[in-house]
Amino acid sequence: MSAKPDLKIVLCSPRGFCAGVVRAIDTVERALDKYGAPVYVRHEIVHNKYVVDGLKKKGAIFVEELAEIPENTTAPVVFSAHGVPKSVPSDAQSRNLFSLDATCPLVTKVHREAAIHFKRGREIFLIGHSHHPEVVGTLGQLPVGAVTLIETAEDAKTITPKNPDNLAFVTQTTLSIDDTAEIVALLKERFPNINGPHKEDICYATTNRQLAVKKVAPVVDALIVVGAPNSSNSQRLREVAEREGCKIAVLAQRATDIDWDKFGNITSLGITAGASAPEVIVEEIMDAFAERYTLHVETVSAAEENEFFPLPRQVRPEAAAE
């Protein structure tokens, strides 16, 4: 039996779950433990099929709109980590639904920034991707027309505000650092008085995972991003790898997604995972490569992460004792 070829695996650190995702998943699991099944979840709690399927098996029912939830239910309804328009909690309240808000606190921060700018009478730009649930939620915090979406550098070059001296911008939390910096620079060049966030809206987890990929992508033959096609932060990691010169940069939800023809002649492989992808799938993919190669594993780190976000009050452990 011929010896397996050697393969150097370079793991990006940090990778995988961020504090906001852990909080969102824990909210659904705690609600199931405390109140029993079913627990309704509006939209995928996070953009990861493995996570969603696991919660379905435990008794979570995923819906896209509250109208899909039966009348007079006493089951909890969880709002996903991406945030929701203001109309959703309002609708839940009018139907006497018991809701739990699992919106990531860093998304809530963007909502608050937009609300403050609106109160101060500013015209608001939102840098983000249309139809992404986070963007839909942020746009839905304010009256229609109060926020204008900017998706590309071209948009930033051509947008015509009503009052160029009374502007503000906020951003989606899961964007490319480089693309966003280019858009912000264009806006600041055109509108020097534009108000931006005191601290970056792009979240720490998105930033750190992109920085790790920037370190690893130039020194490996290929890079796999564990994540879902509809996960914004995972797609941005793949784009960053390509931009940094990695010739083979692919997204994989599971080991079964791997096109082995692409990986036939590599001697080094980078692996990372989007903020909504569990570590168990990283291990599954490494196991798949271990069947074909003798692995030599190292880790390249871009940052230390120790963020923690408390759960919604209704499902905190101490709430049981109240």
Q: pLDDT at residue 176 above 50? A: yes
Confidence of residue 199 (pLDDT cuts 50, 70, 90): confident
Element at 92 (helix H, strand E): helix 87-94
Helix/strand/coil (H/E/C) assignment for every residue in 107-174: HHHHHHHHHHHHHCCCEEEEECCCCCHHHHHHHCCCCCCCEEEECCHHHHHHCCCCCCCCEEEEECCC
Q: What are the DSSP E strand ranges found in 43-120? A: 60-63, 76-79, 98-101
Q: 25-39, pLDDT tens digit by residue?
A: 999 999 999 999 999
- Is residue 10 classed as helix, strand or coil in its secondary structure? strand
> Residues annotated as binding site for [4Fe-4S] cluster?
18, 104, 203
* pLDDT at 322 (0 to 100): 45
Q: 201-230, pLDDT tens digit by residue?
A: 989 999 999 999 999 999 999 999 999 999
DSSP letters spanning 11-51: EEES-S--HHHHHHHHHHHHHHHHH-S-EEEES-SSS-HHH
> pTM for the complete prediction?
0.94
**279 and 22 Cβ atoms separated by less than 8 Å:** no
**% the chain with pLDDT above 70:** 98
Q: pLDDT at residue 64 above 50? A: yes
Letter string b/e over residues 154-175, b meaning 16 or more CB atoms within 10 A of that residue's CB: ebbeebebeeeebbbbbbbbbb
Q: Would you tell me the crossing angle of helices 105-119 and 19-35 to the nearest 10 degrees?
A: 110
Domains of the chain listed by start with CATH number: 4-15+202-299 (3.40.1010.20), 18-103 (3.40.50.11270), 104-188 (3.40.1010.20)
- The set of residues, in sequence order, having a beta carbon less than 8 Å from that of 30 and lying 6+ positions away, is 311, 315
> Residues annotated as binding site?
18, 47, 82, 104, 132, 173, 203, 231-233, 276
Distance in angstroms (rounded) separating the CA atoms of residues 6 and 210: 27
Distance in angstroms (rounded) separating the CA atoms of residues 12 and 19: 17
Residue type, 281: I
Q: 2-21, pLDDT tens digit by residue?
A: 689 999 999 999 999 999 99
> Residues annotated as binding site for isopentenyl diphosphate?
47, 82, 132, 231-233, 276
Q: pLDDT at residue 320 above 70? A: no
- The set of residues, in sequence order, having a beta carbon less than 8 Å from that of 125 and lying 6+ positions away, is 147, 148, 149, 150, 159, 161, 167, 168, 169, 170, 187, 194
In the numeric block, the tokens 């990695």 are attached to: 246
**Active site residue ranges:** 134
**223 and 216 Cβ atoms separated by less than 8 Å:** yes
Q: 258-316, pLDDT tens digit by residue?
A: 999 999 889 999 999 999 999 999 999 999 999 999 999 999 999 999 999 999 999 99
C-alpha separations of 58 from 42, 53, 196, 219 in Å:
16, 9, 42, 41
DSSP class of residue 273 equals E
